[in-house]
Amino acid sequence: MSTAMINHRGPEFAALSARVTERLKYFFQTQSDVLIFTAAGTGALEVAVVNTISPGDKVLAVSIGVFGDRFANIAKRYGAKVTKLDFEWGKAADPDAIRRALAADPAIKAVLVTHNETSTGVTNDLAAISAIVREADKLLLVDAVSSLSAIDLPVDAWGCDVVATGSQKGWMVPPGLAMVSFSERAWQAYRACTTPRFYFDAGEAKRYQEKGQTPWTPALSLYFALDVALDLMMKEGRENIFARHARLAEKTRQGIEALGLTLFADRTHASNTVTAVKAPAGIPAKQISRAMREEEGVVIAAGQGRLENEIFRFGHLGYVNDSDIDEALAALARVCQRLGVPTLASRVN
């Protein structure tokens, strides 16, 4: 990332852009377009909405947590008529309920869904959901910010129309790049879409990508980082990366349970990139995350939204290995012992 800046309208950037885009398509498992915007993950979600949904369009927004709510809010803010389909936090969306909601309102044009809900540590059954959305012939917009590259998401095979992710998660790159795929159906929707947009115009991004550029100045340092991250990822192999995340997630879940703590997410849909843990009775989650940071030098997250003090979360995605998990679990054991978590005290040496 400390490489000297290059001309972003010159041949070096064109080569870098082509190299990065080609490999992103491999990880998105798509033959369609993958566009890169300089933005946070939320920008990727906004790209999905402003390029395919017009004011007044009916949208079904499936939410299982904070990020599902955010996706719905973006669509609402741009004038879509949003039908919200909420599920209990900690559980996955029920595909049959989505089928029923689509049948109940044939005017619905698009479905918004979070693949991996980072706020609760739950991964939706996107294979089943996408099959239902395809059958109903609706547009499918997917928030894959905390899943893509770490959890299998074959974009073309599942018929996902717009899939949005962010550089700071499984891609192992600092925050600031938003990567978004567009299917042919998504481009059809783009052509009909009347929502005003400028910076996030996907058509402009595609037009410039074809000549090896971006419409606006890109975050070059992040492209340099993504280029190297993709080298590492190609070397490890896509399926091996999925398998490593699955293995480390299972190790985390087992380690948490071995400490006598309770997992928040329904185990059948527990995420392979983030594990949410119920705070022990009488101990606010924030107290645990503070002690982990201040006493053990391990940064974990407390809950978000109404779960702020109910759960704490371990992120295990991207550049993560067995010893990271071992050390974090050992630190958690010591913190819980010091805080006098009763189920645990007897088990820690």
Q: Which is nearer to ligand PLP, 47 or 335 (CB)?
A: 47
Q: Is residue 234 within a helix (H) or strand (E), and if so which, with residue range?
A: helix 220-236
Which amino acid, one-letter code, is at 192? A
Residue among 102, 21, 116, 30 nearest 68 (CA): 116
Instruction: Say how many C-beta atoms besides its own lie within 10 A of residue 194's C-beta.
Output: 10
Min CB(118)–ligand PLP separation in Å: 3
Min CB(64)–ligand PLP separation in Å: 10
How far is residue 148's CA from residue 220's CA, in Å, rounded to a whole number? 22
Interface contacts to ligand PLP, rule CB under 6 A: 40-42, 67, 114, 116, 118, 143, 145-146, 166, 175
Q: Which is nearer to ligand PLP, 166 or 280 (CB)?
A: 166
Min CB(42)–ligand PLP separation in Å: 3
How far is residue 311's CA from residue 14's CA, in Å, rounded to a whole number? 45
Q: Which is nearer to ligand PLP, 70 or 336 (CB)?
A: 70
**Residues 43 and 165 sit within 8 Å (Cβ to Cβ):** no
Q: Which is nearer to ligand PLP, 175 or 284 (CB)?
A: 175
Min CB(57)–ligand PLP separation in Å: 21
Min CB(53)–ligand PLP separation in Å: 17
**Residues 308 and 288 sit within 8 Å (Cβ to Cβ):** no
| Count of residues making up the chain | 349
User: What ranges make up the beta strands (E) of the chain?
Assistant: 33-38, 58-63, 81-86, 108-114, 116-117, 122-123, 139-143, 162-166, 177-182, 274-278, 301-302, 311-315
Min CB(218)–ligand PLP separation in Å: 17
Q: Which is nearer to ligand PLP, 52 or 165 (CB)?
A: 165
Residue number with the smallest Cβ distance to ligand PLP: 41
